[in-house]
Structure 1
């Protein structure tokens, strides 16, 4: 089987199962907040578009891909043992993971423009060129790439193992060129961009603040930097081990650490989706005030519902 023992498999199942419900509830809270303040947080704040896309992609992955992983962990085999199921599962998982990585990578670059060139990004032409077009490309590239190498592979024939995650993965990974290209260009490059762009953003912010000796950054710009920093740390912590190991396997030793990658690292990436809504919600302005208002309303409704009214005492008639 894919996992080294049933005991370890069930532990991973329990950990993922117990974290998915709080994460989805936090997703609902974030979506409710965005819908309520749609004009302020989305229409008038294009810098939040990429974060909203990240949240949506994360929610889709939790509600489509993760249940398949939970089924495998619980029962030791895939939900359906067919070529169609394995192709779709692999395509969905690989596409969504790459989309989220590409989005946060571009967001790390884009924040430099919104923070240090805010006036330029208010121009419609610049917004289209440096915001909407890259974001659309991030959403489209990965699904199209994995469509060609997983669903319609021309370089090999898919052979599935129904006891492994994603049925063992598409056959393209065993082809030297395509496996190396995938790990280096679709993952490692973008992870490096996240690290470099965030370090540069923090350096520019600190340097400019020291030079001017004044709070040149407005409050919402500081919030953008902090929000991006925490989201980026999430991706760096949970994706770096798998990507580093995958690059080593692609360039030097195909079997190096393969057991660790299959039995553990494939599952660790799921915690990005589990924790992402908490990081986003924590960065929302005025969220504590909103939560207090919602809790007070719920408490008032509960008080009204459980309030015990004194019984009316009837009049006693004497004969």
Structure 2
């Protein structure tokens, strides 16, 4: 059970970690953007967007959490603030999951299909830029509608972090489960599968090439 003491301990830990986290995010973003080669490299675009999302999370979402941990009450205690906090919290978390999954998938494409899928501007748009734009568009629309416009009455609890959550997940359990699995659980499972698959594919290709080289020398 949350107590004033545990809240203050969490506040101290998070407050200590927030400034260096912001500095690290800004330094990483500056490094990528300040060098032409790193800025133009396709494999850096996804991580760069992810860094911006992480920076926004640390600056806004974490700051709201810190304020709650400091006082024990959501301040200001009104529906507009709670709705905005829930929207930002859910959106930024889902964006992180989806972007990490896409970066993992795109890594496969960049390593094994770079010449076939990125040799024209049209292909680069649909294979590289469009998926990231789609992720943002889909998640912004999904959470904006369900947090601000879904036909249910929010019963916010100002004594609980993020005001106890949005009503759509309780009013429509199927929609709540969809959000939990499609925007969180499934992406994380696929991230693991895709990255393990990439590692196995690289190991297999190295083994296959070495075996072919040995066979070529023998014959």
Q: C-alpha separation between the residues in 2 aligned to 1:207 and 1:109?
A: 18
Identify, as 1 or 2, the structure richer in helix: 2
Partner of residue 12, structure 1 = 10
Q: Which residue of 1 aligns with 2:196?
A: 199
> RMSD of the TM alignment (CA)?
1.3
Unpaired stretches in structure 2, ≥5 consecutive residues: 212-219
Shift of 1:35: 2.7
Partner of 2:214: none
1:134 aligns with 2:146: no
1:30 to 2:24 alignment: no
- 1:117-173 deviation line (CA, Å, top 9, x unaligned): 12123322321221111111112211110111111112x211100111111110112
Q: Select which of 44, 53, 56 maps to 1:48.
A: 44
The equivalent of 1:84 in structure 2 is: 80
Q: C-alpha distance in 1, partners of 2:192/2:126?
A: 24
**What is the number of residues matched between the two proteins?**
209
Is 1:59–2:67 an aligned residue pair?
no
Runs of 4+ displaced beyond 6 Å: none
Q: Deviations over 1:206-243 (max 9, x none)?
A: 100111129xxxxxxxxxxxxxxxxxxxxxxxxxxxxx
1:173 aligns with 169
Determine the structure 2 residue equivalent to 1:159: 155
Specify every segment of 5 or more residues in structure 1 that has no aligned partner in the other structure, as ranges.
215-319
Equivalent-residue separation in structure 2 for 1:86 and 1:168 (angstroms): 9
Deviation at 1:9, TM superposition (A): 1.1
> TM (normalized to structure 2)?
0.91
Instruction: Tell me the SS of whatever aligns to 1:163.
Output: coil
From 143, 146, 159, the counterpart of 1:146: 143
The secondary structure found in structure 1 opposite 2:86 is helix
Superposed, 1:1-319 pairs within 5 Å as 4-37=2-35, 39-43=36-40, 45-123=41-119, 124-154=121-151, 156-174=152-170, 175-213=172-210
Query: What SS does structure 1 have at the residue aligned with 2:159?
Result: coil
Deviation at 1:42? 2.0
Could you tell me how far apart the structure 2 residues matched to 1:183 and 1:36 are? Answer: 37
